[in-house]
Amino acid sequence: MMFRILKVVALTAALGVAACQTRPEVAVDTPITAAELAPYKKPGTATIVGRAVLKADGKGAATCRGQQVTLTPAVAYNRQMVAAMRAGAKPVPGPNVGSSQAYWRKAVCDARGRFQFRNVPAATWYVSIPIHYPDEPREGAVIKEVRVPASGTVTVQLTEHDALR
């Protein structure tokens, strides 16, 4: 089964995963409000450091080497998107829900699967990364919710338990 990151204009693009098989569609229509986005607009002083490594069916480990890491606000709409994907459904954005894309942050995984975000505001975020397995045609994605405090460093470890299936 192959998965690939699917950018839906709204997590609103960064959190989608499409499988080779047909998945039931689920409407995601929770509006994104200015009040929900307020914490993400503030300046931040926290840091997120992380690593992503997945077991590749006994053939070693797959990392996110060279892959883009996306930090996305965990607003209600995005939570609904993630819940639909975790349930095996294909989320379909509703009309006029808004977007959190202006607050996304991006980084790139290094050769050892590590990434970092600096100056992150205190809020709850999703970290999402596409994963490519060595010597295998399949792809995947991992996503994890991260609560960021007002200051300090948050360490995130993404594993096969965080994979969207």
Task: Convert the pLDDT of each residue in 60-69 to its tens digit.
Answer: 677 788 889 9
- Please indicate, yes or no, whether the overall pTM of this predicted structure exceeds 0.85: no
Question: Ranked by mean pLDDT, which of 21-25, 61-65, 98-102, 134-138 comes out on top?
Answer: 98-102
What per-residue confidence (pLDDT) applies to 159? 87
Residue 70 has pLDDT above 60, yes or no: yes
If you ran DSSP here, which 8-state letter would residue 79 be given? H
Q: Per-residue pLDDT averaged across 91-113, rounded?
A: 92
What per-residue confidence (pLDDT) applies to 101? 94
What per-residue confidence (pLDDT) applies to 135? 65
If you ran DSSP here, which 8-state letter would residue 74 be given? -
Span 104-146, pLDDT tens digits: 999 999 989 899 999 999 999 999 997 766 666 666 679 999 9
Q: Could you tell me where the beta strands, DSSP code E, fall in 12-148?
A: 16-19, 25-28, 46-55, 61-63, 68-73, 90-93, 105-108, 114-120, 123-132, 139-148
Q: Per-residue pLDDT averaged across 66-82, rounded?
A: 94
What per-residue confidence (pLDDT) applies to 16? 42
**Which CATH superfamily groups domain 3-18+44-162?**
Immunoglobulins (2.60.40.10)
Report the chain's mean pLDDT, rounded to a whole number: 82
Query: Hey, what amino acid is at 26?
Result: V
Where exactly are the structural domains of the chain? 3-18+44-162
What per-residue confidence (pLDDT) applies to 15? 47
User: Which of residues 40 and 64 earns the better pLDDT score?
Assistant: 40
